[in-house]
Structure 1
Amino acid sequence: MDKMKLRRELVEARASLSPEQRRANATSIRETLLDQPWVQMAGLVACYWSIGSEPETHGLVFALWKHGATVILPVHKDDDDLDWAVYDGPDTLTPGRSGIMEPIDTRRGVDTIRTAALVIVPALAVDARTGVRLGRGGGSYDRALSRVGPNVPVVALLHDGELIDGVPAEAHDQRVRYAVTPTGLTRLM
């Protein structure tokens, strides 16, 4: 299956989830992650502010921040690369490019992700055998993930049914080490 067709199918499946199911998924994913010792110990966490039918991260970002982690969120640059800025509570966000909420903090640079102890990324799907992540096709997260060290846990958040076999891969596609769905955490590599 080609990436475009797979993306369409996954986006349609996500659109069919009820608001109640999305809320329940977000709670399960958040609790699963927060139960992991390596998440609890992460001092600097790169995460994202979810939009649309993505697994919701707003409560996760807030919980990480309240538990003492420094959370950095992406700021989309004009060249589609990701800059990073520190989240300092829900009142410190503003609509950015494409309406996605971004921190108002000083931009820290594209290489800031190199210093993260934990990286949480969006994905439409992850290959259960290889850890290849399927994004929306812009390449922003693949570029950012290419800067992450090999021992840093990279986690993709998914709805059930999105951890699949056979995600098409290209040379630039980045892999994730973990996938978290509402039914649990899966170590991939």
Structure 2
Amino acid sequence: MQATKSQLRSRILAARRRLDAAERERDARDLARHAAALARPGETVCGYVPVGSEPGSLALIDVLVDRGAVVLLPVARRDAEEAPQPLAWGRYRRGELVEAPFGLKEPPPPWLTGAAVREATLILVPALAVDRRGARLGRGAGFYDRTLGLADPTAALVAVVRDDEILERLPAEPHDVPMTHALTPRRGLVELGESPGPPGGSST
């Protein structure tokens, strides 16, 4: 019987917590190296600041900026009824991140509306796992579920995961927006589903 999303989340989070500091640093360094090939000068990229055991790093975001990309970072908020809202976005500038709800770091105001995601040609998405069809397993908060449908249909949607977090099949809902690629420390950019090809013309 296929594991539920809740069971998979618990299993993957436990595995991530078992990683030692050296493994985390190596993964972060490798992801940043692969990211250098993904962005072109002047393009808009949506990224994220990792929390806890999430793959990625500020160094990865800095690499994108050094490549000339405009990097937007998410601003997560709930409404008065505690329902998650589509992510707002703030432009990343070194040294200007502030503490935010949910243990996140975000750019200070002014922020762009959720519609700003449509300007991005590349969207790096935090994930616990992704399958070969592009189905993504998130933490279940719902922010990205409400955001990715606003993206340009031609944008590359890239789940950032560890190498063993690309699975054969994950539970998926009809409203889920599939990822076009995964980015992993060892394998680099991995095409998923019926993706149109690597962003930026990379063959990684």
**TM-score (norm. length: structure 1):** 0.93
Could you list the runs of 5+ residues in structure 1 that have no partner in the other structure?
none
Aligned sequence identity (%): 36
How many residue pairs are counted as aligned between the two chains? 185
Aligned to 1:157: 160
From 75, 79, 93, the counterpart of 1:88? 93
User: Given residue 2 of structure 1, which amino acid in structure 2 is its aligned partner?
Assistant: T
How much does 1:98 deviate? Answer: 1.9
User: Given residue 92 of structure 1, which amino acid in structure 2 is its aligned partner?
Assistant: E
How much does 1:35 deviate? Answer: 2.4
Superposition map of 1:1-189 within 5 A = 1-36=3-38, 39-41=39-41, 43-79=43-79, 80-81=84-85, 82-89=87-94, 91-128=95-132, 130-184=133-187, 185-188=189-192, 189=194
How much does 1:64 deviate? Answer: 1.1
User: Given residue 60 of structure 2, which amino acid in structure 1 is its aligned partner?
Assistant: L
How much does 1:32 deviate? Answer: 1.5
Q: Return the alpha-carbon distance in structure 2 between the equivalents of residues 26 and 159 of structure 1.
A: 10
How much does 1:41 deviate? Answer: 4.6
CA offsets per residue over residues 95-126 of structure 1, 9 Å max, x none?
A: 01122100014110011101111111100000
**TM-score (norm. length: structure 2):** 0.87
CA distance 1:46–1:75, change in 2 (3 Å) = same
Q: State whether residues 28 and 183 of structure 1, in contact with CA within 8 Å, keep that contact through their aligned partners in structure 2.
A: yes
Q: State whether residues 23 and 56 of structure 1, in contact with CA within 8 Å, keep that contact through their aligned partners in structure 2.
A: no
